[in-house]
Amino acid sequence: MRRLIITLLWLLLAVGVVAGAVALLLGEDVEPAVALVSAAVSAVALLVSLRTSSPARESAAERAEKLRVKVRAQVTRESARRGIWEAQPMVIRWRATGLRTTGGLAAELPAAGDSGELITGFTRHRMPKRLVVTGEPGSGKTSFALLLTLAMTEPAAVAPVPVTLPLSSWLPEETLHAWINRRLLLDYGFLDDSRNGSRGGPSPMVIELFELGLLLPIFDGLDELAEERRAPVLATLNSDTWSRSFVLTSRTEQFTPDLARLLDGALVTTLQPLDAQAAALYLIDRDGSEALAPLLDELTTRPHGEVAAALSTPLMLFLTLTQYRNNRPLPAELLRDGARLRIERHLVSAFIPAVLTGPGADPSTWRPAVAQTTLRFLSQYLHDSGSGDLAWWEMHRAVRTRAFFPIVRVTGGGLGCAILGAILFGLFGLLQVGLALGFAVGSAAGLVLTLIGPDAPRQSAPSIRAKKNPWRSLYRSIGFGLVGAAMGGIDSALLFDGKSYVVAHALIYGLTFGVARSLHEEAIPKEAGTPEGFLSNDRKATAYSWGLGALAGALVGGIDGVFLGTRLSQSLKEALQTHQAWGLGLPTWQQAILGAFVSALAAGGGLGLMSQASSASARFATARLWFALRGRAPLRLMPFLEYAYDLGILRRSGPYYQFRHQMISDHLLATAPEPARAFKNSPA
């Protein structure tokens, strides 16, 4: 099939060149030839993309090593932010539950121990191996997963590469393989060497990595799934070949005995509270300042007191450490008389104010009050969306006024095209016609884009291989093509004589707009996916459309300029001669340059505006404008999200942001004002 397509493209190229040359030599009507030559140029671009040789395919082992390096770099940063690996790794105690199996991993480990023993035993145990880690909120489930990942990604480690997969991101309509494939390619796009994964098909590399036992999935957060989904999910994990070995985390209450019985050969463990001595050692190893003395004294003298109970989880220790590093020690009255719940609430509520005004903060750029308002808004949005993943390309759903996006598209498209029309027609003394026509075409294009619907984040993909949703892609390409055909046909009908001229321009611009839209696909990053990377890919795809439209416009406009004196509408020519229009007196080569420039501006601007208006980045920009006008978030929202990430309030998981811990999000949600507590999922 590939060879057939290449042969047809070479045929189109030959016909276009020959037809164009013959028409120009014989002096016949050149416009059909222009259309063929333009199509031939498109054929060249497609041939280049199809004929470009790809680098030699890496082996599964080589790709797994690359993944190991990426995963370790990410986990090292995250561990440092959480304070679980500084002077030495945090030690978390565990014990096996009554659901402990009699063989496999359970037979090689004691009934209780510390995290180091469990990690060592799990790493050394032969495949398959299954481990369930349960615990109370903040007990260290995520910290344990990070420590395990660090151990299994050491340079000398001979172990499968652990990859964390948040169960909350598994859509009900997805199969296990489809979800894992999608999530891995979002986080680590370099695993998709064949590009199949970006179109909905499984990546051969991901399949091979699982078949060779080179990946270990860490299924994080069973408790974050709806109750009715937990049993079917565990039944699937128990029977599927991709989950012969895995680690699963869940809150203790949600992992019931009935659910545990669905997993064969799994060691079920529960993380234990940290004792006062372990808490004190953690704080001394990471701070050691004199300000800690009253707290350490309390832990030493009352190891079973309220303070020791409050600091018995890694989360509370991390929050306490943050307070002292930002010169905010626990109040003396809390140390003396505070109950556990009161101390925990104080630590959670004081965390964000501490980091927003601490040494690493930038209050001159991000005022603490505005930052807290934005964080409350984000917490409410995530709560209402039912997801812990904050995706910038989905934040338009927080805009409650459904008409806002269509109004912006129609108005913005009309104004943008009105400016282009004024530039194009103004050269011919038709400024008002250009303004009116441009506004009409731009508004209609905005309406078409509203009917087509928004795009996911995109990237430039100059190839004609199958798309993830071919019919939807065709539908969108046709919509773009119709707008381009209308723009080219109407403009040429007003400026030039001859039906063939109108048909040729309509075909050229219609095909250019349609093909340009088809050369975009959903974004899959080449390296580990990041929010900024996805946003950059989408903006580059839009710039690609501007360039392609300008190239086609320059080609057609240059030829139009050559034949301006013979093809210009007679009535328009007479009017221009009456007004002594300067353009008609230019030499032919200058008219060609002028025509190329104006047409490049008009076609590039038209296609670029359409691509921009339908892009996820433009939708995000429109949503940011709405949030800023409503006082919910700053206009520069993406830099703020990165700022919150640097402060440790948010974390990143591939292209998503997440709150550092659900308890922080819950606190923000509880303090959000009532008017901000309802966002509708608008389709926008």
d(C-alpha 249, C-alpha 112), whole Å: 17
With contact defined as beta carbons under 8 Å apart, do 618 and 607 qualify? no
CA dihedral defined by 638, 644, 650, 653, rounded to 10 degrees? 40
Question: φ, ψ for residue 98 (rounded to 5)?
Answer: -70, -10
Distance, in Å, from the CA atom of 177 to the CA atom of 584, rounded to the nearest integer, reads 65
Q: Yes or no: say if 375 and 668 are a contact pair by the CB < 8 Å rule.
A: yes
Q: Where are the beta strands (DSSP E) in 403-512?
A: 458-460
What torsion do the CA atoms of 225, 230, 236, 238 make, to the nearest 10 degrees? Answer: 120
Q: List beta partners, residue 269.
A: 96, 133
pLDDT < 50: residue spans in the chain: 1-28, 32, 47-54, 197-199, 461-466, 523, 525, 527, 675-684
User: Which pLDDT belongs to residue 567?
Assistant: 63
Report whether 45 contacts 9 (CB < 8 A). no
Q: Is this structure's pTM higher than 0.95?
A: no
Question: Which backbone phi and psi does 250 adopt, to 5 degrees?
Answer: -165, 155
Q: Both tokens of residue 124?
A: 């050394």
Burial of 319 (0-12, 13-18, 19+ CB in 10 A): buried
Residues in the chain: 684
Q: Which helix (H) or strand (E) holds 652?
A: strand 650-653
Joined tokens for residue 677: 């507590």
3-state SS class at 188: strand
Sequence letter at residue 24: L
Cα–chain-centroid distance for residue 166? Answer: 15
pLDDT value, residue 41: 55
CA distance 498 to 591: 20
Q: What is the pLDDT of residue 345?
A: 92
Extents of the domains making up the chain:
1-53, 60-271, 276-357
The rounded distance, in Å, linking the Cα atoms of 105 and 108 is 6
268: enclosing H helix or E strand:
strand 266-271
How crowded is residue 322: how many other Cβ atoms within 10 Å of its Cβ?
A: 20
* Structure tokens given for 290: 């004199």
500: left (phi over 0), alpha (psi -120 to 50) or beta: alpha
148: its two tokens: 């395990």
Q: Terminus-to-terminus CA distance in the chain, angstroms?
A: 39
How far apart (Å, rounded) are the C-alpha atoms in residues 558 and 277?
Answer: 80
Q: Would you call 138 helix, strand, or coil by DSSP?
A: coil
Answer whether the bond into residue 675 is a cis peptide, omega within 30°. no
Please identify which residue in the block is written with the tokens 């700022």: 643
Determine which helix (DSSP H) or strand (DSSP E) holds 133, and give its type and residue range: strand 130-135
Residue 307, helix vs strand vs coil: helix
Q: CB burial class (10 A; 0-12, 13-18, 19+) of residue 240? A: middle
Write out the two tokens for 154. 């050491």
**Rounded Cα distance, 307 and 299, in Å:** 7
Contacts of 261 (CB under 8 A, 6+ apart): 99
Give the span between the Cα atoms of 427 and 582, in whole angstroms: 9
State residue 177's pLDDT score.
94
Q: What is the DSSP string of 591-649?
A: HHHHHHHHHHHHHHHHHHHHHHHHSHHHHHHHHHHHHHHTTSS-S-HHHHHHHHHHHTS
Q: Which residue has the tokens 């003395």?
A: 293
- Measure the CA angle with vertex 312, ends 309 and 313; round to 5°: 140
CA distance 482 to 454: 17
Place of tokens 């997963």: 145
Location of structure tokens 């370099």 = 190
Strands (E), 212-259: 215-220, 246-251
Q: How many helices (H) and strands (E) does the chain have?
A: 27, 11
656: which strand partners?
Answer: 653
pLDDT score at 24: 44
Torsion angles phi and psi, residue 658, rounded to 5: -140, 155
With beta carbons less than 8 A apart as the criterion, state whether 116 and 93 touch.
no
- Could you tell me the two tokens for 590? 């200058």
Question: Per DSSP, what are the bridge partners of residue 459?
Answer: 521
Name the token pair of 544.
Answer: 């690609």
Q: Domain 60-271, what architecture?
A: 3-Layer(aba) Sandwich (3.40)
> If we measure between CA atoms, which residue out of 533, 485, 476, 513 comes closest to residue 608?
513
